[in-house]
Structure 1
Amino acid sequence: MSYFMKIYKEKIFWDLYYHYSFKNIMQIPYILKINLNSCCGKFFFDKKKINFFFININNICNQKPIFAKCKKSISEFKIKKGDNIAIKLTLRKKNMYNFLYKVLNLSLPLIKGFEGLSKKSFDDFGNYNFGIKDYSIFPEIDSSLSDINFNVGLSVSIIFKNSNIEKSFTFLNYLNFPFKDV
């Protein structure tokens, strides 16, 4: 069992239950999934870079990502229908909690000048979204191919179940999420 999963089941679950005085434990919010998305628009013609990026995302998340294909041809961008234009990944259960632990405790502190994540990145349903400008902050990046250096960003979406903005914010505070002090 991962560290954050254990913390959720033993502490956060009951803290949320008593904090909001729910009538039923099925009303308690929880993280349903984490979606990762990254566009490879700058280098989608370079098979070596796409393969390198695919392997690194696989190593970071311990799960195989899938390619998002282009739905129609666009001549201005020189892409054809069926070309790979993005990599996406959905993490659930143990992989989700392991990735969340890795991001919060190992990767985000390595960002130079990191002040915290914005409190305004919640949507109407209580889901939280943030971006990572360079995916090379993760320790699993394969540095053996030093001739392939490029910056690629990741979009991370944390999807909650049974939640709103206030409950999601409380949940993430119990996980010691690094929010900016405004």
Structure 2
Amino acid sequence: MSYFMKIYKEKIFWDLYYNYKFKNIMQIPYILKINLNSCCGNFFFDKKKINSFFLNINNICNQKPVFVKCKKSISEFKIKKNDNIAIKLTLRKKNMYNFLYKILNLSLPLIKSFEGLSVKSFDNFGNYNFGIKDYSIFPEVDSTISDLNFNIGLNISIVFKNSNIEKSFTFLNYLNFPFKDV
């Protein structure tokens, strides 16, 4: 069992239950999934760079990502229909909690002059979205594979079930999420 999964089941679950005085345990919020997205716009013609980026994302998440294909041709951008333009990945259950542990405890502290994540990144449903400017902060990124000369960003979305902004913020605070001081 993952460390964060164990913390959720033993501590956070019951803290949320008694804090918000839910009548039913099915009302307690939980993390449904984590979505990762990254655009390959700068190097989508170079198959070697896309392949190395694909392998690095696979090593980071222990799950195979999926290529997003272009739906129609755009001549201004020199994009043809069915060209690979992005990579997406959906993490659930054990992989989700392992990735969350990895990003909070190993990767975010490696960001130079990191001050914390913004509290304003919640949407109306309580989901939290943030971005990383350079994916090479993860320890699994192989520098021999990665011969990319520029930074590649990742968009990370944490999707909650049965939640709103206040409940999601409380949930992430129980996980010691590094928010900026308000």
Tell me how far apart the structure 1 counterparts of residues 146 and 105 of structure 2 sit (CA, whole Å): 26
Letter in 2 for 1:139: P
Query: Shift of the alpha carbon at 1:150?
Result: 2.7
Tell me how far apart the structure 2 counterparts of residues 111 and 40 of structure 1 sit (CA, whole Å): 22
The equivalent of 2:14 in structure 1 is 14
The equivalent of 1:87 in structure 2 is 87
The equivalent of 2:101 in structure 1 is 101
The 1:9/1:69 distance shift into structure 2, 3 A limit, reads: same
TM-score w.r.t. structure 2 length? 0.98
Q: Percent identity?
A: 89
Cα deviation per residue 1:99-125 (whole Å; 9 max; x = unaligned)? 000000000000000000000000000
The 1:132/1:87 distance shift into structure 2, 3 A limit, reads: same
Output aligned runs, 1:145-156, within 5 Å: 145=145, 147-156=147-156
Letter in 2 for 1:37: N
Tell me how far apart the structure 1 counterparts of residues 155 and 54 of structure 2 sit (CA, whole Å): 15
Task: State the secondary structure of the residue aligned to 1:120.
Answer: helix
Letter in 2 for 1:126: G
Letter in 1 for 2:175: L
Give unmatched runs, 5+ long, in structure 1: none
Tell me how far apart the structure 2 counterparts of residues 71 and 132 of structure 1 sit (CA, whole Å): 26
Task: State the secondary structure of the residue aligned to 1:43.
Answer: coil
The equivalent of 1:70 in structure 2 is 70
Give unmatched runs, 5+ long, in structure 2: none
Report how many aligned residue pairs link the two structures: 182
